[in-house]
């Protein structure tokens, strides 16, 4: 199981955020972390947008985690281990809190 799959054991963004900070913080200082939650085919997902304090450190993180960049941000999706309520069955998305780490 890779590091991103382990994050899937988080049930929500409040649990996921510190786990992301521990994982990604090993590669450098986190400058920004934004999380967008979404429903996709009955699965709750967290779309994570991340910036570290240097491009070199971001390259190392991207290679280690097997993730890419979109619009300047490192982006990856984590499937959350959360029960889906019946009202959450359709596609939807919403921003969780953004956080700058300056």
pLDDT digits (tens, 9 = 90+) for 28-85: 999 999 999 988 788 889 999 999 999 999 999 999 999 999 989 999 999 888 665 5
- Predicted structure pTM score: 0.77
Query: Domain of 28: which CATH number?
Result: 3.30.70.330
Q: How far apart are CA 19 and CA 68, in angstroms?
A: 19
Residue at 15 is within a domain: yes
Residue-range definition of the domain harbouring residue 34: 3-83
Quick one: tokens of 40? Answer: 């996709």
Closest CA to 31 of 55, 66, 4, 9: 55
Residue at 75 is within a domain: yes
Residue at 94 is within a domain: no
Residue at 36 is within a domain: yes
Which pLDDT score, from 0 to 100, does residue 84 have? 58
Number of domains in the chain: 1
Residue at 47 is within a domain: yes
Radius of gyration of the chain (CA): 14
Which pLDDT score, from 0 to 100, does residue 73 have? 95
């Amino acid at each position: 199981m890779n590091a991103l799959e382990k994050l899937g054991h988080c049930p929500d963004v409040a649990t996921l955020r510190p786990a992301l900070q521990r994982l990604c913080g090993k590669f450098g200082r986190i400058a920004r972390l934004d999380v967008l939650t979404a429903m996709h085919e009955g699965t709750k997902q967290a779309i994570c947008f991340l910036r570290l304090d240097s491009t070199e450190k971001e390259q190392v993180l991207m290679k280690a985690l097997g993730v890419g960049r979109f619009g300047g941000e490192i982006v990856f999706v984590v499937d959350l281990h959360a029960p889906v309520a019946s009202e959450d069955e359709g596609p939807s998305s919403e921003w969780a809190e953004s956080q700058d780490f300056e």
